Chains A and B, each alone.
Chain A
Amino acid sequence: MRKLPYLAKEGIKNLWHNRTMTLASIFVLVACLLLTGLAVLFSMNISNAMQDLEGNNQVTVYLKDEVSPQESEQIGKKIEAIENVASIEFVDKDRALENMLNRLGDDGTLFEGLTEEENFLPDSYKVSFRDLSLYDQTVKEISAIDGVESYTDYSEVAEKLTRLDHLVSVAGVWIVIVLGIVSLFIIANTIRVTMFSRRQEISIMKSVGATNGFIRIPFVIEGICIGVIAGIIASAVLYFSYSAIMDSISGVVPFIRLIPLEEILLKAVIAFIASGIVFGTIGGSISITRYLKREGGSIIIG
């Protein structure tokens, strides 16, 4: 272990001597990390949005306008009697309006002047389901009840989001695989260049009895440094671009509540740097192992 500071210094020296290739590797690795990160974040946001939508398995059941308070109570009892219904909550039209105004915030000023008579929102029940897989059957039973006008059907939106999530995941996986291979290849090549420029040192190391493990360490450290630097840059880029990207997405799909940056930043930084290290280590190891196997054995005596 006492050799480590010396070996680390050698690895960092390698980076500097070989800076053009180092930069190229860092750049490609940053691209790879960012795309991976964005795909993961997109996916996380979608599943987050889906949870919001499902709202603890809730469906809003709207009652017909002409339904009297007594009738609506009857309807509530009938809904409650359905086996898959866990609980219900009555929301009268006034509270519905209030809720909507709250939700819309400043955008809601248009509706502020509405009087009680003008309130176009119906009374409704928030119904929680026990088992979401019985969704179709349960909503059918509910809509069959007299006085029920309609219910919010999130299934279609959820389905679309699931499909989108799936698409992003599949595309993301492929992009990551391709870019991952490319970055490994470039890192391995970068380190191979260093290795060739230091082949005499390697031969001398071997001649005085350095183990392969020892010879490998500076090159692996070089790879790790590339990984760490790429991880830090990718984190910084993510930090500055996340809000911008997500803003534009929320413009298209407004009801999605985004995961706040603070919640994911630390995880993203750790994940970026960790995967940078993994990539760097593998890239460094590939080239030095191949070199030691192919040429490293016969360089002691010309």
Chain B
Amino acid sequence: MIEFIDVSKTYPNGTHALHNINLKIDDGEFVYIVGASGAGKSTFLKLITCEEKPNSGQIIVNGVHLETIKKRNIPYLRRNMGLVFQDFRLIETMNVFDNIAFAMRVVGTREKEIEKRVPFFLKMVGLSHKAKMFPSELSGGEKQRIGLARALINHPKMLIADEPTGNIDPAMSYEMLGMLSEINKHGTTVVMVTHEHVLVREFPHRIVEINNGSIVADSSLMQNPAAAQSAEPSETSEKGGGTDA
């Protein structure tokens, strides 16, 4: 679960990236984060991955308060997140198999387990036959599927995707969204930053729109007023108390 309570972030250079963000993403949800460039989407992701700390407010990810998390605990928090990048971030000098295995090696998985798990995930993204190829020999869509396999290989609870379809052709984008939806169905939370309205319409999930550092729209609040209340913690407690009485 990801929860932002009154979160604001201003960078040292004075840029107000996020202002008073309140948002709750439950386990197993699929959420699109949309908004124009510079709206604060990247800062939002950086706060979730602990690359940045908020100036005020609270961020709770999988029960851990990120505003007070100790530096040495950050890696362990990230092991529960799979990250997919717009530019794939594959290592050019490693073949497909090793690119995926790399994510397991750096968290200290046994080679025996790597030999077992990597082929399984390669099969899942439909690239078993390209295990020995290098990234330069793959298409954009294939690279991103490897990126996805790498993000999922350590069984993360949530998948954070930063414009995963930004560099691949439309047909592949559909396929990618299909995969992400499938993964989500199996219980993995998916948070995806995107610009592509067509995809968002085609694969309907909750949409959170950020503009100028604030949440300007949240589809779950529009459809479900109860969720609207829970997203505003201060009001929730007041109203909740009133209902009980």
**Contact of A300 with B91 in the complex, beta carbons under 8 Å:** no
Q: Do A2 and B108 touch (CB < 8 A)?
A: yes
Question: Which residue from chain B places its CB closest to the CB of A1 in the assembled complex?
Answer: B108
B27 at the interface (CB under 8 A from A): no
**C-alpha gap A48/B87 in the complex (Å):** 67
Q: Is A242 on the interface with B (CB-CB < 8 A)? A: no
Are A210's CB and B89's CB within 8 A?
Answer: no
Q: In the bound complex, how far is the Cα of B42 from the Cα of A208, in angstroms?
A: 18
**A302 close to B (CB within 8 Å):** yes
* A205-B46 in contact (CB<8A): no
Query: Considering the chains assembled together, what is the distance between the CA atoms of A302 and B102 in angstroms?
Result: 21
Complex contact B103–A301 (CB within 8 A):
no
- A301-B42, A302-B87 in contact; A208/B107 too (CB < 8 A)? yes
Interface residues on chain B, size class: 20 to 34
- Known A6-B105, A302-B42; judge A208-B162 contact (CB<8 A): no
Interface membership of A211, Cβ < 8 A: yes
Binary per-residue interface labels of chain A (1-12) against chain B in the complex, 1 for a CB within 8 Å, 0 otherwise: 011001000000
* CA of A215 to CA of B102, assembled, Å: 12
A207 near B105 with CB under 8 A, answer no
| Total A-B contacts with CB atoms under 8 angstroms apart | 73
Query: Once the chains bind, are A210 and B107 in contact (CB under 8 Å)?
Result: yes
> Known contacts A200-B91, A298-B51; is A206 also within 8 Å of B78 by CB?
yes
- Does B60 interact with chain A (Cβ within 8 Å)? no
Most buried by B among A205, A207, A298: A207
Taken together as a complex, chains A and B put the C-alpha atoms of A301 and B72 apart, in Å, by: 19
Which residues from 189 to 230 on chain A have a C-beta closer than 8 Å to any C-beta of chain B?
200-201, 203-212, 214-215
If A203-B89, A297-B51, A302-B87 touch, whether A208 touches B78 (CB-CB below 8 Å) is: yes
A209 in contact with B46 (CB, 8 Å)? no
- C-alpha spacing A291/B76, complex, angstroms: 20
Tell me which of B51, B86, B102, B107 contacts A300 (CB under 8 A).
Answer: B51
* Given contact pairs A300-B46, A301-B49, A301-B162, A200 touches B89 in the complex (Cβ within 8 A): yes
- Identify the closest chain B residue to A201 (Cβ): B91
Q: CB distance A208 to B87 under 8 Å?
A: no
Q: Which of A2, A208, A301 contacts B106 (CB 8 A)?
A: A208
Chain B residues lying within 8 Å of A6, measured Cβ to Cβ, are: 105
Chain B positions 32 through 52: 1 when the CB is less than 8 Å from some CB of chain A, otherwise 0:
000000000010011001011
Residues of A within 8 A of B197 (CB): none
Set of chain A residues within 8 Å of B162, measured between Cβ atoms: 301-302
Q: Is B236 an interface residue (CB 8 A)?
A: no
Give the complex CA separation of A90 and B162 in angstroms. 96
Contacting pair B106 A214 (CB below 8 A): yes
Measuring CB to CB, which residues of chain A are less than 8 angstroms from any residue of chain B? 2-3, 6, 200-201, 203-212, 214-215, 297-298, 300-302
Additional A-B contact list (6), CB under 8 Å, known A214-B108, A302-B162: A201-B102, A208-B150, A209-B79, A210-B75, A300-B46, A301-B42
Q: Show 30 residue pairs from A and B whose CB-CB distance is below 8 angstroms, ordered by the A residue.
A: A2-B110, A3-B105, A6-B105, A200-B89, A201-B102, A203-B89, A204-B91, A204-B103, A204-B150, A205-B106, A206-B78, A207-B78, A208-B83, A208-B103, A209-B106, A209-B154, A210-B75, A211-B72, A214-B108, A298-B51, A298-B52, A300-B46, A300-B51, A300-B83, A301-B45, A301-B46, A301-B83, A302-B85, A302-B86, A302-B162
